[in-house]
Amino acid sequence: MSVKIAALRQEPQLLETMAKWFPHTFGVPEEAYRESMAQCLAGSGPVPQWYGAMEGERMVGGLGVIENDFHDRPDLAPNVCAVYVDGPWRGQGIAGKLLRHVCADMAALGVETLYLVTSHTTFYERYGWEFFCMANGGEGPVRVYRHSQREYST
């Protein structure tokens, strides 16, 4: 079965599935995800957004776009956050599919530059992200990556 990327704003029936899936990734409480997802569904702007990698009815990966992913650089926004693929589905290109989808979708919503924080050092470069700078995160220094649609459309 193939994996489909679903945007919550386009498939609001996935709210319960997404709200219950995301907390197992990074230990953020379900209520925080629900609040952000409610803002997404309210449609007041391009951020926040939530995406799921769906294999049939099962969510196997996902990510979100929020203003700030727990770092001290509010000028580097919005941020891709909670990038995660469940163990059995890793190594199948799902994270790359999610990243490509979010970049294209956010560009269609008028957001050409995205940032993300991570401790990974080579993963995101495979998908067109570039190391941008270091920032202070909740638990110390974090690497900030940037992806700009503008750089690829010229």
Q: Give the tens place of pLDDT for each residue, 97-116.
A: 999 999 999 999 999 999 99
The answer to whether 69 touches 81, Cβ cutoff 8 Å, is yes
CA triplet 78, 82, 85: central angle to 5 degrees?
135
What letter does residue 97 receive in the DSSP assignment? H
The sheet with strand 140-148 has its strands ordered as: 4-7, 49-55, 58-66, 79-85, 113-118, 140-148, 130-137
Distance CA 25, CA 98 (A): 15
Q: Where are the domains of the chain?
A: 4-111
What letter does residue 60 receive in the DSSP assignment? E
User: In whole angstroms, what separates CA 113 from the centre of its chain?
Assistant: 13
CATH entry 3.40.630.30 includes domain 4-111:
yes
Q: Give the tens place of pLDDT for each residue, 84-96.
A: 999 999 999 999 9
The larger pLDDT score, comparing residue 113 to residue 149, is at: 113
pTM for this entry? 0.94
Distance CA 76, CA 71 (A): 9
